[in-house]
Amino acid sequence: MKASELARYIDHSILHTDCTSKEIENFCKEAISLGTYAVALNSYWVEEAAKHLKGSNVLVDAAIGYPLGQVNKNGKIAEAKYAVASGCDELDVVMNVGALKSGYYDFVKEEIMEIVKVAEGRVVKVIIESGLLNDDEKIKATNLIIESGADFVKTSSGMNNISGATVHDVELLKRTAAGKIKVKASGGMTNLKIVLSMIEAGADRIGTKFTQNIMAELTEN
């Protein structure tokens, strides 16, 4: 795979708590240089990132309800509206995993549906924290995402020491998605070998903050 092809799989992710304005600027410049698909960041930084990425092919990807997903539904919807108004191109929404595991399926689906509506046609990816779910729950979560009208199921937020993507999970989510939605692998995407294994398993997008090192590995090979 060429470096330019691999880069277009990647949402270059900068989501740490003490992230600064200068880091956002440098990260956006790095994303443009590498040719990544998007820069994924917290909603507070969307407007600033949009200015830095203007005129490039790199999209602004806003995290919503990050990282726990248990913000009040109206809070998540408000954050999504803010991100859209600030100039985001895509949204990565953390599912309320506690609600899912409690069997509140209608609530989970309705929450995602409301955010899809607010997104106004923008791509919506839903983070299910696959490391906290058994296979039946992963399948149920994916089907709820399909029913909600969102575009992707995403494995993990990569935060709170929750295990990230595995080949098994990506393959399971890809089978369950059945071409109706796409799969984003995130969490633990630290090197080229892991990233290529996820793409081989069926991942349509990769979320990682280690993009520069991964691309350097590819170039070395």
Q: For residue 201, what are the domain limits?
A: 3-220
CA terminus-to-terminus distance, the chain: 10
Active site residue ranges: 92, 154, 184
User: What's 38's domain CATH number?
Assistant: 3.20.20.70
Higher pLDDT, 164 or 102: 102
Report pLDDT digits (tens) over 134-189: 999 999 999 999 999 999 999 999 886 677 899 999 999 999 999 999 999 999 99
Residues in CB range of 134: below 8 A, 6 or more apart: none
How many Å apart are CA 106 and CA 198, to the nearest integer?
31
Q: Among candidates 197, 194, 203, which has minimal Cα distance to 211?
A: 194
The stretch 73-102 carries a mean pLDDT of: 98
Q: Per-residue DSSP letters for 89-136?
A: SEEEEE--HHHHHTT-HHHHHHHHHHHHHHHTT-EEEEE--GGGS-HH
How many Å apart are CA 81 and CA 77, to the nearest integer?
6
Number of domains in the chain: 1
pTM over 0.85: yes
